[in-house]
């Protein structure tokens, strides 16, 4: 039987094939990736688009959480100062209700209370990066102004709007409480009660001052209660943060499963390919030069 006398084509293609296997294994080991172009594994490459987006989202969510946590903590801190100021105001109110006070003493208390009033306005105008935290969504200008003509002693320039921020897929977190809800609620009106205390000490009876002090107490209770909102939000951010950090790890490992090279396998493949390549070369070296001419003298 006549066989193909020209082995060079087969030999070359065998050498090229083993060489390309070597290259593939080497590329996988050096890049650490099994999928370098979409055709290496079309499905994995397509899924990587989603994986990469998810990983970007997670990074952004974590960044959002950092920003929000500091905003919420500032707001909470401001409310804590409000509560302290209110405690002080209540103490002064209790002093004011004792009927034995001189007019001068009363005047002294009123001045102290007015100081607290402007301190509270300042606290209610707390801002972060130009955003007034208690102005609702109209938060680009200070929401509270002292206003002697107003029954509450202040005017509110903010609105009742709230914002939500997406901090994880499907999780939209409310990030603010408007001042109108916090400080001028029907269940506890900080500014109204304070103003009433001031006016009753200026021109009212001790009973009036007592009523106003009681109102101040319920305002104190209300604001203290509202602080829970901020505490909860921060807690939720904390737990979301650890979930997202876990998610980052999961995504990274998913990425590795999708396009990462199995280095052990790549190393084994490389060894196999090198052995095959050596064998092909050795066979070529043996076959190609032999000819009948070698044996004819």
Partner 1 sequence: MPGLNTSLSIAVQALQAEQGALSVTTNNISNVNTPGYSRQVAVLNEAPTFNENGTIFGGGVTLEQFQSVRDQLLQLRIYEETQQQSNSQTQLNALNQVEGIFSDPTKGVGGALSAFFNSISQLSTNPTDSNARQAVLTSANNLAGSFHQAVTSLNTIGAGLDQSVPQTVDQINRLTTQIAKLNGQVAQMQGLGQDPGTIQDQRDELIRQLSGMVNVNVTQSEHGLTLTTGNGVPLVVANQSYALQSNANNTVLEHVYSAQGQDITSQITGGQLGGTIQIRDQVLPQLFTQLNDLASQFTASFNTAHQAGFDAAGNAGGNFFTPLASTTDAAANFGVAITDPSLIAASSDGSAGSSGNLTQLLALRDQQLPSGASPLDMYSNLVLQVGNLGANAQSDVTSSNASVQQLTDQRSSVSGVSLDEETTNMIRYQRAYEAGARVVTTVDSMFTTLMNMGVTT
For partner 1, the binding residues (CB under 8 A) are 2-6, 9-10, 13, 36-43, 45-53, 56-57, 59-61, 63-64, 67-68, 71, 129-131, 135-140, 159, 161, 163-166, 169, 172, 175, 291-293, 296
Where are any strands of DSSP class E within the chain? 127-128, 131-132, 144-146, 154-156, 164-168, 171-174, 184-185, 188-189
By the 10 Å C-beta count (0-12 exposed, 13-18 middle, 19+ buried), 98 is classed as exposed
Q: Which is nearer to partner 1, 151 or 161 (CB)?
A: 161
- Quote the least distance from Cβ 30 to partner 1, whole Å: 16
Q: Phi first, then psi: what are they for 171, rounded to 5°?
A: -115, 100
Q: 49 vs 285, which CB is nearer to partner 1?
A: 49
- Cβ-based nearer residue to partner 1, 103 or 292: 292
Cβ neighbours of residue 203 closer than 8 Å, sequence gap 6 or more: none
Question: Looking at beta carbons only, is 271 or 290 nearer to partner 1?
Answer: 290
CB contact at 8 A, 280 and 98: no
Half-sphere exposure of 58 (CA within 13 A, CB side): 19
Q: In this complex, which beta carbon is closest to partner 1, that of residue 85 or of residue 173?
A: 173
> What three-state secondary structure class fits 185?
strand
């Amino acid at each position: 039987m006549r066989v193909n006398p020209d082995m060079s084509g087969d030999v070359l293609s065998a050498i090229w094939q083993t060489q390309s296997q070597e290259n593939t294994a080497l590329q996988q080991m050096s890049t650490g990736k099994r999928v370098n172009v979409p055709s290496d594994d079309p499905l994995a490459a397509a899924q990587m688009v989603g994986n990469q987006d998810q990983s970007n989202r997670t990074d952004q969510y974590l960044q959002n959480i950092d920003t929000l946590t500091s905003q919420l903590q500032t707001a909470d801190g401001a409310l804590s100062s409000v509560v302290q100021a209110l405690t002080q105001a209540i103490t002064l109110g209790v002093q004011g209700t004792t009927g034995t006070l001189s007019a001068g003493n009363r005047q002294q208390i009123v001045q102290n209370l007015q100081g607290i009033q402007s301190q509270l306005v300042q606290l209610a105008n707390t801002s972060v990066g130009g955003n007034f935290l208690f102005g609702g969504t109209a938060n680009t200008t200070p929401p509270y102004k002292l206003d002697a003509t107003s029954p509450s002693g202040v005017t509110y320039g903010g609105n009742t709007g709230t914002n939500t921020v997406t901090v994880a897929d499907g999780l939209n977190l409310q990030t603010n409480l408007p001042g109108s809800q916090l400080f001028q609620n029907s269940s506890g009106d900080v500014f109204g009660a304070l103003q009433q205390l001031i006016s009753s000490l200026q021109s009212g009876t001790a009973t009036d001052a007592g009523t106003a002090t009681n109102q101040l107490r319920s305002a104190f209770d209300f604001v203290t209660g509202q602080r829970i909102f901020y505490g909860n939000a921060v807690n939720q951010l904390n737990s979301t943060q650890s979930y997202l950090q876990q998610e980052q790890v999961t995504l990274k490992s998913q990425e590795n499963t999708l396009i990462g090279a199995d280095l052990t396998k790549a190393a084994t493949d490389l060894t196999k390919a090198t052995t095959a390549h050596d064998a092909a070369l050795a066979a070529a070296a043996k076959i190609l030069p032999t000819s009948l001419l070698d044996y004819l003298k």
